[in-house]
Amino acid sequence: MMIVKYLFAEQLIHKDKVMADKSNTEERVSPYSDKELEYFRGIIEKKLKDSEDELNTLQKSLRESMENASDESAYSFHMADAGTDAQEREKTYVLLNRTRKFIKYLDDAIKRIDNKTYGVCKVTGKKIAKGRLEAVPHTQLSIDAKLKRR
């Protein structure tokens, strides 16, 4: 009887150690391997760099446009020109905000790669196709979920 109690106690200790080990290790949710996740990270980081460059260009353009608007002389000022300039500034501002939003989506995608949750549809819970992630690397929806949303 003592041997059975000893074996049972050993099993409980082993079970507790296994549970502790599981809580310390990160559980993989992503259907993609680490190598594939690094491939997607490269795509995202390239898009992120391009978007940050575009954001800087748009900010510079908006700044110059604002400076030029205040430098209007009496000879070059015309209501139509002022309206066109205002419209161009507004368009640049919309593009700037859109680029900021895109950068946030890309940052969120990198966080999902770090958390090993990248490539899982947030609606269906299924794997997002590799081709879709290559085309739209920040997506959180599979094709099926995206089409159902429309």
Q: Write out the two tokens for 41.
A: 């990270």
Give the pLDDT band of residue 117 (cuts 50, 70, 90). very high
Check residue 142 and give its pLDDT: 94
In angstroms, the CA 7 to CA 4 distance is 5
As a 3-state breakdown, the chain gives helix, strand, coil percent values, each rounded to 5, of: 75, 0, 25
In angstroms, the CA 37 to CA 117 distance is 10
71 against 109, higher pLDDT: 109
Residue 61's closest CA among 104, 91, 103?
A: 91
Cβ-in-10-Å burial (0-12, 13-18, 19+) of 118 comes to buried
pLDDT for 2-36, tens place per residue? 444 444 445 544 444 444 443 333 455 889 999 99
Supply the pTM of this predicted model: 0.71
Residue with tokens 């809580």: 23
Check residue 84 and give its pLDDT: 76
Check residue 14 and give its pLDDT: 47
Check residue 87 and give its pLDDT: 86
Check residue 6 and give its pLDDT: 43
Cβ-in-10-Å burial (0-12, 13-18, 19+) of 132 comes to middle
* Neighbouring C-beta atoms of residue 78, cutoff 10 Å: 10
94 against 150, higher pLDDT: 94
127 pairs with which residues across the strands? Answer: 120
In angstroms, the CA 106 to CA 37 distance is 14
pLDDT for 119-144, tens place per residue? 999 999 999 999 999 999 999 999 99
pLDDT for 66-81, tens place per residue? 776 665 544 556 677 6
